[in-house]
Amino acid sequence: MNDRALVHIVDDDEDVRMSLDSLLRSVGLETREHATADSLLSSEADDRPGCVVLDVRLPGVSGLDVQQQLTRLGIRIPVVMITGFGDVPMSVRAMKAGAVDFLTKPFRDQDLLDAVAMAIERDRRRRNDDIDVAAVRGRYLTLSPREQQVMMLATAGKLNKQIAGELGISEITVKIHRGAAMRKMDARTFADLVRMADLMAAVQPRH
Amino acid sequence: MNDRALVHIVDDDEDVRMSLDSLLRSVGLETREHATADSLLSSEADDRPGCVVLDVRLPGVSGLDVQQQLTRLGIRIPVVMITGFGDVPMSVRAMKAGAVDFLTKPFRDQDLLDAVAMAIERDRRRRNDDIDVAAVRGRYLTLSPREQQVMMLATAGKLNKQIAGELGISEITVKIHRGAAMRKMDARTFADLVRMADLMAAVQPRH
DNA sequence: TCACGGGTCATACGATGGTTTGATCCGGCA
DNA sequence: TGCCGGATCAAACCATCGTATGACCCGTGA
């Protein structure tokens, strides 16, 4: 509901690319064509929702490896797999790796469009979530070290008095840091602050 | 790390069942054999982690339909699909529906054991999460209607004074309800209460 | 009829939270 | 050298929270 979506088409067969391209454009989607995996990987990150339509059979590397590489690079764009020579283990691997769909050629146009629509919707949601988390995290980084400490201890349920004890400072100083944290985090209430702390803790925590 | 896991084997071929049975028992897993989908569906719910090893080809219904039916019934036990006659669309449908894995016969014993182990681990985690949510929800239900209202408004960030205004009661009464909610919810701090409210809101909300 | 739980409220008190004013100290940086 | 942000603290003040005591009303069920 925000930006115009962009679909990356990765297939070494130019005819297939053109065909997919015109199909996707016919429903109002913008597209980029890539003949190789490198072309996709070297394309600059787009600041809008989108997905990748990825052929499994590519010159050099497999589409499955490309999918894995995207994950490894932290590029979490949804992938719709297509292939002319698919087998079950291949499709299962792709789906396990998070593919939105796995279509075997020839597929019906509508099936691809459905898969792409689903992928874009998924990306849109993920991006919105990421934006929220990034905003909170960004504000958190503007806090001074002490303010960050106080915020974490406070949202963990500690009283100002306890925080003061743990940090070896006076309670009045804790209150000042706490107030600054609330202001900088743009938290109207303490409940907001707790939720922001949880939001930051929910993602990222390298297990 | 809690209870002994239970694996349901659903296959109409007795030889296959026995073979799977002995394989799974050989690694210390407990099993139940089912020749039909109905046998599985009519088996009582087990109060321990487990999974289903489900043949796609069953007399009458398809394993895919059984999987769907489990979901529809709210039985969220993980499913490992196996089949002798699998094709890509079938495997994709199963994986989309949440299957842990989709193996085509003949498969290596180790592949099945890996899939089952993964499924059980997933179930264990889900069950632990469910237990936490159920415990909180259970305590929430012991709150009187007023106490529930006050808890929700408080965790939404409202001040006692505002809550009193919205409910048309005095602030002192709000404090009493709030205190009772804290006690009954077993929340040591207000931050705990906020997290409990979020935990309950996170699941269930039929979107 | 009585007991009980739920809901309501007042008074009173103490603990906790939040802000302002004003001040000191320190390290980095122009 | 002087400025600035970060950190520290005190005093004073007010708002808010939390709980205890005691009280009243009401509907339900023993």
For B142, what's the count of Cα atoms within 13 Å in the CB-facing half-sphere? 12
The model's confidence at residue B19, banded by pLDDT at 50, 70 and 90, is: very high
> Around Cβ A198, how many Cβ atoms within 10 Å?
15
Residues A49 and A2 sit within 8 Å (Cβ to Cβ): yes
From the list A158, A139, A142, B190, the residue with the least C-alpha distance to A150 is A158
pLDDT of residue A206: 53
pLDDT of residue A204: 65
> Around Cβ B69, how many Cβ atoms within 10 Å?
14
**pLDDT under 70 in chain A at which residues?**
1-2, 204-207
Instruction: Assess whether B203 (CB) lies less than 7 A from strand D.
Output: no
The Cα A148–Cα A146 span in angstroms is 5
Residues of A in contact with B156 (CB under 8 A): 191
Answer yes or no: CATH 3.40.50.2300 is held by domain B6-127.
Answer: yes
pLDDT of residue A1: 47
The Cα A22–Cα A28 span in angstroms is 10
Q: Does the pTM exceed 0.85?
A: yes
Say whether residue A201 is in contact with chain B using an 8 A CB cutoff. no
CATH 1.10.10.10 in chain B: give the residue spans.
143-203
CA A13 to chain B, closest CA, distance in angstroms equals 22
Q: Cβ separation of A86 and B88 shorter than 8 Å?
A: yes
Nucleotide lying nearest to B175, CA to C1' measure: D18
| Helix ranges restricted to H, chain A | 14-26, 37-41, 63-72, 88-96, 109-141, 145-155, 160-167, 171-185, 190-202
Q: Give me the residue label for tokens 């792709």.
A: A94
Residues B111 and B85 sit within 8 Å (Cβ to Cβ): no
Residues A63 and A83 sit within 8 Å (Cβ to Cβ): yes
For the cut 90, the answer to whether the pLDDT of residue B60 exceeds it is no
| Average pLDDT for B2-31 | 94
pLDDT of residue B1: 47
Q: Cβ separation of A191 and B157 shorter than 8 Å?
A: yes
Nucleotides of D under 7 A from a protein CB: 5-12, 16-20
Q: Which of the listed CATH numbers 3.30.360.10, 1.10.10.10, 3.90.420.10, 3.40.50.970 matches domain A143-203?
A: 1.10.10.10
CATH 3.40.50.2300 in chain B: give the residue spans.
6-127
pLDDT of residue B46: 82
**Rounded to the nearest 5 degrees, what angle is found at the Cα of B168, between the Cα atoms of B165 and B172?**
75
Instruction: Assess whether B170 (CB) lies less than 7 A from strand D.
Output: no
The Cα B15–Cα B18 span in angstroms is 5
Residues of A in contact with B190 (CB under 8 A): 157, 190-191
> Around Cβ A23, how many Cβ atoms within 10 Å?
18
Q: Cβ separation of A189 and B157 shorter than 8 Å?
A: yes
Q: Is the dihedral of CA A171, A175, A177, A182 positive or negative?
A: positive
* Alpha-carbon distance values, B62 to B3, B81, B207 (Å): 31, 11, 29
For the cut 90, the answer to whether the pLDDT of residue B205 exceeds it is no
For the cut 50, the answer to whether the pLDDT of residue B108 exceeds it is yes
For B65, what's the count of Cα atoms within 13 Å in the CB-facing half-sphere? 9
The Cα A54–Cα A36 span in angstroms is 10
The Cα B100–Cα B94 span in angstroms is 9
| Helix ranges restricted to H, chain B | 14-26, 37-42, 63-72, 88-96, 109-141, 145-155, 160-167, 171-185, 190-202
pLDDT digits (tens, 9 = 90+) for B127-147: 999 999 999 999 999 999 999
